Amino acid sequence: MLRGRESLKRIIGKRRRFLPNLSRILSSSSSSSSNSLKVENDEKFIINDSAITKAESKKIDDDSEAVTSGNEFVICPVCSIQIRSDDRSVNSHLDMCLVRSTKRKLSQSTLLQFSFCSKLKDNKCVDEGVLAETNVIQDSEPMKNDISQLASISNDKATCAISQCEISGPDDGTSLKSSLALDSISQQEDSLNIVDDSINDMVDTYSVDLESGASNFDMEGILSELSGMVFKTCIVGRKYVDAAEIVSGASIYFLRDPTNIKDPNAIKVVSPDSGSGTVLGFLPRELAQYMSPLIDKYQINFKGAITSVPKNSLDIVPIEMMCLNTPSCNEVAKDDIPMLNSSCINIFRLMKSGEICPQSPIKYQQNFRLMIEEALRGNLCLFTDAEKLFLDSFSSMSDDSQRLFVRLYTRKGPWFRISSLTYPEILDYQQAVNELSEASYVCSFGYKSEIIDNVLEELLHILTVNELCEILKVLKKDFKVGLRKKELIESLHSSYKDGLCPLLPSLLIDRTSTCVRISSFAESLLWRVQRLFFLDGEQDLSAFLLVDLRILKYPEYKCTISHPVFFARSDLLAYEEAIEVAQIMDQSLDEGNSKLVLQCIEIAELQLSNYIRIKDQSLPLESKAPFLQCFSAAWVNSKIVLLGVSFHEQERRYQDAIKLLKLLLNSCASDGRRGYWTLRLSVDLEHMGCIEESLCVAEDGILDPWVRAGSRMALQRRVIRLGKPPRRWKVPGYAASVKRKITEVHIQGRPLNGKVGMKSRFYGEDGEQCGVEELALQFYAGEGGGWQGVHTESGIWLTIYGLLMWDVIFSDVPNTFRTKFQNAPLDMDSDDFYVARKSIIELHLQKIHEGMAEAILIMSWELHFGTLCRGVNWERNSLSELRAAVTCIGGPCLANLCRLLAQDYRSWTSGMPDLLLWRFHGEYKGEAKLVEVKGPRDRLSEQQRAWLLTLMDCGFTAEVCKIIPPAVT
């Protein structure tokens, strides 16, 4: 694998299905380079998206025209969200709102007062109140972003050939007639509601009086409506009371709980089975705030009954309740009339809206909404008004719509047959699809839709092999029995493109019926939300599931955030665009498309060059939190360029590799990879015959404070080798240290194979086959002196470090913990880790030095067993092994090793010796040894040599064990 490929894969994480900037990125690169490539090869990298068109890649130059076409909004008087002001959007949206019997707020205008105009050219025809409520973006750049995103929503519907299954209003501009018609329809549909029509009439009758503050209320009418009324609600807060049996049909009563710490308006639900009554739970907070004044001031009593028993004892319990008594008009003080009326009307409103008896949300639905809410709350400035509106609309959709979308979002797709979806928690698929289509969350495809070429190819993948064969038979196409699905699809699609089977779309629709997929806008925006929430491309919604199932357990820590990861939206967009380039490059390497790989390298090189010119103005993070630079476009582009270096070196294009390495060294002055970059630059210069320059690069690299560990030792050895007279007459001062001898032990083994490029295998002392490490363990356990040990390399050391330094790692340091799904602080790989915690680290290391390591190890193991922590493997080594190793190593050596890892975790987590050996001298004392094992054809790497010398400096006993074949006689 190319050097740097793994790092790039970690940055990309799980590949995106849709790359929104793909066409623009590649076209801009093509236009700026003399070696431009045609974009015809780029079509295969447009993953699962049929919404990218030539129109989307064009830059919108006329802002006024853009505003007219895509940024017109009005406020819906029914659900109060912003909608596009064209006739079709308004009529369709109002149809759905009224069919759902969504009730407008008391402060909103009625449908008759709702005015809009499909053209904003004449400002006189737009209601001033509506314009005042729309969010007009002042900044020109965010305006363009809003326009492009709104345009992508529209393009999704057009290009994906959405079959709008929802009820659509007449598209003739007669908005007033449509509103009147919808008003009458809503009155007919209200009869389907759980709440009686009289409640709706009450809310509509008294809402205007309540707002105006008039005192001439119809008290008698309101109190008579309340008396004897039966309405539905539920019992909540079951987890806060003692477990009590719930019986369907059982009577219940309601008591005030004014001493409740969480809610002074709380109303307890009690069972009359015992003398004092058993508390079953509480009424919903929304209802209790209006009922509690009625109970407190006028002693209004309520009683009820349990209507059904939930499966889970802690779930909400549906109940019916009824008002037993109300005060007479004479008993109500004049000053209390507004309060009494307001409480009653709000109770009526809650009864109609259904808010007092919510359906219990499913866990994955809650998790998805939590992700959106948290991402918006912490990064509000990074989203445009259109994006905020789009994300906010998700919570207002029905449970079926939310659940269906989350289900589709977490599946591979891109297209799904509605008929094949079988989720028991979703009751009405068609209604959910209609609502999601209206909100532009999905694209649907049905009988009346026209198939576009790339959509056809995607839809063919949802057919089974038998269905594909049936279509081929109907089209009378010859095909071999036993062909794979991919080959059948290619055959059908190529025939359709050649015009040989024009009936293919209709045959496909007959078998798929209605299909649906996530819209490109929704997918792109939610990818951003997910990235901001987790800050890790390898994590997604499955992290919630793994935690809920207790498969994974994250550590406890405090999230203290003083400044954001991205200071401006432009930084976030540049970061996302760089990740897109990285993904294109990664896919191109998989497919062997060298031309596109070179184009991606060129794009990253250009961006990194621009970054150098403006980095003084564009890097506010350097002075606040340098470890957050990994969330910058420059960081991602540097990884692409580094992979480009390996790509050029593999092709022996050393001149191109040298150019990229110099760019990296000039652009990133404080990066842990500078040692590797400097080393490769020196090596490539030597390949080009530039020995003097190669030597100078190596000498300068040794003086660089960011060149460390194995890279530093490799450069020192290069200087010694290349700096012989007459180039250099003076021997470097570090020559003696680099040339230090490391103890070597030689043992003989009977080789099983001796092929070059294969791992050496030997016969062990027991006659079984084994590797060189197992053979060395057998030697040290026997003739070597009775050593016990493990073959672990870095594993056991990182586990010991994580357990000993647990409290330090998860201490409260601002901005290092930003999500609840981290197994380490964000600065653990940086120098900031030690600097920010120096006082507590040194105090902790002093305890380890004084011999408390074993006690700390045992305490961490018992308190945190199974909890995720970077480097800690709970299964590989037992507690007894860890205790034995810690005891025999000793406090001083452990403290030195932990300090080394705390100061530079990134540089020292690889290359550790293969074996950790220990043996006891008595019950509580012992000694330890570290051994690097090498086969007959192996030699020490520079990182391994650096580790062995460093361990020797820390007080460890370290040696190299070489396995040699027996001498040939």
Query: What's the CA gap between 182 and 179, in Å, rounded?
Result: 5
User: In the 8-state DSSP scheme, what is residue 236?
Assistant: B
User: In the 8-state DSSP scheme, what is residue 73?
Assistant: E
Q: Does the pLDDT of residue 308 top 50, yes or no?
A: yes
* More confident site: 654 or 94: 654
Q: Does the pLDDT of residue 461 top 60, yes or no?
A: yes
* More confident site: 314 or 209: 314
Element holding 570 (H helix, E strand): helix 569-591
Phi and psi dihedrals of 79, rounded to 5?
A: -110, -5
> Which tokens belong to 257?
């709980």
Burial (Cβ within 10 Å: 0-12, 13-18, ≥19) of residue 645 = buried
Question: How much of the chain, in percent, has pLDDT values that exceed 70?
Answer: 75
Helices 140-159, 520-534: crossing angle, 10 deg rounding = 130
Sign of CA dihedral 246, 248, 251, 256: positive
Phi and psi dihedrals of 13, rounded to 5?
A: 70, -140
Q: How confident is the model at residue 557 (pLDDT cuts 50, 70, 90)?
A: very high
How many residues are there in the chain? Answer: 969
Query: What's the CA gap between 350 and 357, in Å, rounded?
Result: 9
Query: What's the CA gap between 69 and 162, in Å, rounded?
Result: 20
> Which tokens belong to 836?
């920010």
Question: Span 328-350, mean pLDDT?
Answer: 75
Beta-carbon contacts of 920 under 8 Å, excluding residues fewer than 6 positions away, are: 884, 887, 888, 926
Question: Span 558-582, mean pLDDT?
Answer: 92
Q: Does the pLDDT of residue 134 top 50, yes or no?
A: no
* More confident site: 917 or 295: 917
* pLDDT value at residue 350: 74
* More confident site: 113 or 526: 526
Average pLDDT of the residues of the chain: 78
Tokens 């396995």 -> residue: 963
Q: Does the pLDDT of residue 629 top 90, yes or no?
A: no
Query: What's the CA gap between 222 and 217, in Å, rounded?
Result: 9
* More confident site: 593 or 31: 593
Query: What's the CA gap between 766 and 750, in Å, rounded?
Result: 12
Beta-carbon contacts of 715 under 8 Å, excluding residues fewer than 6 positions away, are: 675, 678, 679, 682, 698, 701, 702, 707
Tokens 């994906």 -> residue: 160
Phi and psi dihedrals of 301, rounded to 5?
A: -105, 150
For residues 57-93, one letter each, b for 16 or more C-beta atoms within 10 angstroms of the residue's C-beta and e for the rest, the string is beebeeeeebbebbbbbbbbbbbebbbbbbbebbbbb
* pLDDT value at residue 243: 65
Q: How confident is the model at residue 81 (pLDDT cuts 50, 70, 90)?
A: low
Tokens 């009554």 -> residue: 277
Q: How confident is the model at residue 539 (pLDDT cuts 50, 70, 90)?
A: very high
> Which tokens belong to 397?
């959709």
Closest among 759, 851, 747 to 804, alpha carbons compared? 851
* More confident site: 621 or 745: 745
Closest among 504, 511, 500 to 467, alpha carbons compared? 511
Phi and psi dihedrals of 759, rounded to 5?
A: -65, 135
Query: What's the CA gap between 963 and 61, in Å, rounded?
Result: 71
> Which tokens belong to 503?
């009936």
| Single-letter amino acid code for the residue at 964 | I
Closest among 323, 305, 302 to 252, alpha carbons compared? 305
User: In the 8-state DSSP scheme, what is residue 125?
Assistant: G
Question: Span 598-609, mean pLDDT?
Answer: 92
Burial (Cβ within 10 Å: 0-12, 13-18, ≥19) of residue 882 = buried
Sign of CA dihedral 133, 136, 138, 139: positive
Element holding 686 (H helix, E strand): helix 674-687
Phi-psi sector, 13: left (phi>0), alpha (psi -120 to 50), beta: left
Strand pairing report for 769-770 and 762-763: antiparallel
For residue range 818-843, list pLDDT tens digits in order.
999 999 999 999 999 999 999 999 99
Question: Span 301-309, mean pLDDT?
Answer: 85
Strand pairing report for 958-964 and 926-934: parallel
Question: Span 138-161, mean pLDDT?
Answer: 43
* pLDDT value at residue 158: 43
Contact 813, 837 (CB under 8 A): yes
* More confident site: 381 or 90: 381
User: In the 8-state DSSP scheme, what is residue 737?
Assistant: H
* pLDDT value at residue 68: 34
Query: What's the CA gap between 334 and 338, in Å, rounded?
Result: 8
* More confident site: 405 or 64: 405
**What is the rounded end-to-end Cα distance, in angstroms, of the chain?**
41
* pLDDT value at residue 184: 35
* pLDDT value at residue 679: 95
Phi and psi dihedrals of 21, rounded to 5?
A: -105, 15
Q: Does the pLDDT of residue 878 top 80, yes or no?
A: yes
DSSP string over 830-865? STHHHHHTHHHHHHHHHHIIIIIHHHHHHHHHHHHT
* pLDDT value at residue 687: 93
pTM: 0.71
Contact 261, 298 (CB under 8 A): no
* pLDDT value at residue 355: 53
* pLDDT value at residue 169: 36
How many whole angstroms from its chain centre is CA 813?
23
For residue range 933-950, list pLDDT tens digits in order.
998 888 899 999 999 999
Contact 718, 709 (CB under 8 A): no
Query: What's the CA gap between 329 and 74, in Å, rounded?
Result: 43
Establish how many alpha carbons lie within 13 A of residue 794's alpha carbon, considering only the half-sphere containing its beta carbon.
17
Contact 268, 255 (CB under 8 A): yes
Neighbours of 922 (CB within 10 A): 6
Q: Where are the alpha helices (DSSP H) in 354-502?
A: 363-378, 385-396, 399-409, 429-438, 453-460, 465-474, 485-497
How many whole angstroms from its chain centre is CA 65?
36
How many whole angstroms from its chain centre is CA 643?
25
CB-based contacts of 183-189 (< 8 A; 24+ apart in sequence): 183/98, 183/111, 183/112, 185/95, 185/98, 185/99, 186/98, 186/99, 186/101, 189/98, 189/99, 189/101
Contact 252, 270 (CB under 8 A): yes
For residue range 185-229, list pLDDT tens digits in order.
333 333 333 334 444 444 444 433 333 333 344 666 677 777 767
Q: Which domains does the chain have, with CATH numbers?
A: 219-353 (3.30.70.2330), 740-793+911-968 (3.40.1350), 795-878+889-902 (no CATH)
Query: What's the CA gap between 882 and 840, in Å, rounded?
Result: 24
Query: What's the CA gap between 760 and 934, in Å, rounded?
Result: 10
Question: Span 566-588, mean pLDDT?
Answer: 93
* pLDDT value at residue 192: 33
